[in-house]
Amino acid sequence: MGRLHGKNCLITGASSGIGQAIAIRFAREGANVAINYRGGAEQAEVTRQQARAARNGGGGKELVVQADVSNEDHVKRMFKETLDAFGSLDVLVNNAGIQKPCPSHELELPDFDRVLSVNVRGPFLCAREAIRHFLSRGGGGVILNNSSVHEKIPKPKYLSYSISKGGMENLTKSLALEYAGQGIRVNAVGPGAVVTPINRAWIDNPKARAEVESHIPMNRAAEADEIAAVFAFLASDEASYITGQTLFACGGLTLYPEFRVAWSSGE
């Protein structure tokens, strides 16, 4: 039996990239998966079909649910549709996220606000609905946030993204502390560079990709599956005593790679 057998899970932004890999991985581990998407129902349907196939004959349900996570009414409707279909919720994955590169002194307010509204307000709105449900049902629950190495590492020209992931670290810790006594675990995963559509600027350009990968101690970007595996662990009962943590899956990016050579001590 899979580690997530019978668990009802909602994954935001699950029609592509890491969210898609999480939905498929969770289904493979026996979960019922609600696949949220904002636009592009066809792509969400692809996730649903791949999640179904990953069950390899095992039981389980998939639901495709449209919502913009930054919109309160959408989030409420998404939770209602998920709870109507599954009866209850055990795991929320706040995965949806966007970024918008721009020199900080040229960053326009609507772009700044949009990134924060998807990457911080969205996870707050979803976490709030999940916690309300967990408290009314009793028995706890799990919230997982897709953060980034940039919750720790500054990211010039990605100011709103960097701020949003710093905020996500605090969202994770504050909610974890507030609800630990009610059996609600809140954790984050901090990926480094992952081969997904958000990185379309370099993934299919060998020169640009080599440049990115040259900065990573493990010399390569991650596949989305490798990140989904970390989410599956944190969602499972194997992580039953872990809360308020960010687990970095970053190929060593948080290890100060510039210090691989002893430039600072004169040797």
- State the catalytic residues: 161
Helix (H, G, I), strand (E, B) or coil at 232: helix
Which residue from 1, 4, 59, 58 is spatially nearest to 228, judged by alpha carbons? 4
What are the strands, taking DSSP E only, across the chain?
A: 8-11, 32-37, 62-66, 91-94, 141-146, 184-191, 246-249
Residue 8 vs 246, nearer CB to ligand NAD: 246
Contact letters for ligand NAD, residues 104-143 (x by CB under 6 A): --------------x---x---------------------
Q: For residues 176 and 187, what is the distance between their CA atoms, to the nearest angstrom?
A: 7
Residue from 196, 236, 243, 246 that binds ligand NAD (CB under 6 A)? 196
Helix (H, G, I), strand (E, B) or coil at 222: strand
Helix (H, G, I), strand (E, B) or coil at 16: coil
Give the nearest distance from C-beta 21 to ligand NAD in angstroms.
8
Which residue from 19, 36, 139, 23 is spatially nearest to 88, judged by alpha carbons? 139
Which residue from 214, 224, 225 is spatially nearest to 252, judged by alpha carbons? 214
The DSSP secondary-structure symbol of 244 reads S
Residue from 8, 16, 172, 187 that binds ligand NAD (CB under 6 A)? 16
Stretch that binds ligand NAD, among 104-112, 186-194, 209-217, 235-243 (CB under 6 A): 186-194
12 lies in the binding site for ligand NAD (CB under 6 A) = yes
187 lies in the binding site for ligand NAD (CB under 6 A) = no
172 lies in the binding site for ligand NAD (CB under 6 A) = no
66 lies in the binding site for ligand NAD (CB under 6 A) = no
247 lies in the binding site for ligand NAD (CB under 6 A) = no
Site for ligand NAD, rule CB under 6 A: 12-13, 15-19, 36, 38, 68-70, 95-98, 118, 122, 146, 148, 191, 193-194, 196-199
